[in-house]
Amino acid sequence: MATSQDELKKQVAQAALKYVKPGSVVGIGSGSTVNFFIDALADMKDDIEGAVSSSEASTKRLKSHGIEVIELNHVGELPVYIDGADEIDEHLRMIKGGGGALTREKIVAAVADKFICIVDESKQVGRLGQFPLPVEVIPMARSYVARQIVKLGGDPEWRQGFVTDNGNLILDIHNLDILDPVQLEQQLNNIVGVVTNGLFAARKADIALIATPDGVKTTE
């Protein structure tokens, strides 16, 4: 019988537990794969100091398991950050932000010593860019930022009705030819009104755990 995608997500979430250091604070991403990780982490809650969360949704789930959520500003060391991705390439560069939590995810990832990316094999790509690239934008800059994105060759689409945890909006960029992810990440961030974008190329993952029907594969 074929392994379901949820089963793969559960397996990769379980495999990530071995990277959690007893006594430490754990950085937690967002999304359905991370939800499985949070559920698995609940069994270890007495062995960790707590968690730093990258979204209101993850905070709620962590608290529902009785896992203490600590404000990032109160944390000195964050050995690992565990998060999913919408796409990941062979260099462990990613597109993230399908759930709209990209800015807080990027902040927590920046603080962490190691970024462990947990995905099922459907997220692996040869070249980033099939998944629309999310950009978090200050609301009053929406039209201006959209015009600048068109100049870069992309087709921005306003994720209407969606508000980020930071009170901003999301433009999803379609049809972008991403030749140099590091350069594009910087170019997009340089547009006034952009908070950040979903390319995780300058700070990519350190380890990818990829769930396949034959087991979880590790890439470093």
Ligand X SMILES: O=C(CO)[C@H](O)[C@H](O)COP(=O)(O)O
Residue 106 labeled ligand binder: no
Q: How many CB atoms lie within 10 A of CB 153?
A: 11
Closest approach of Cβ 151 to ligand X, in Å?
A: 26
Q: In whole angstroms, give the CA distance from residue 177 to residue 201.
A: 15
Tell me how far apart the alpha carbons of residues 92 and 89 are, in angstroms, rounded to a whole number. Answer: 5
Task: Work out whether 201 is an interface residue with ligand X (CB under 6 A).
Answer: no
Site for ligand X in 101-160 (CB under 6 A): 101-102, 105
The amino acid present at 39, given as its one-letter code, is D
Instruction: Rule CB under 6 A: say whether 172 interacts with ligand X.
Output: no
- The region of 15-23, 43-51, 100-108, 152-160 touching ligand X under the rule CB under 6 A is 100-108
| Catalytic residue positions, numbered | 105
Smallest distance from the beta carbon of 200 to ligand X, in angstroms? 9
Q: Is 83 in the site for ligand X (CB under 6 A)?
A: yes
Shortest distance in whole angstroms from residue 76 CB to ligand X: 25
Residues at the site binding ligand X, with contacts judged by CB under 6 A: 29-33, 83-86, 96-102, 105
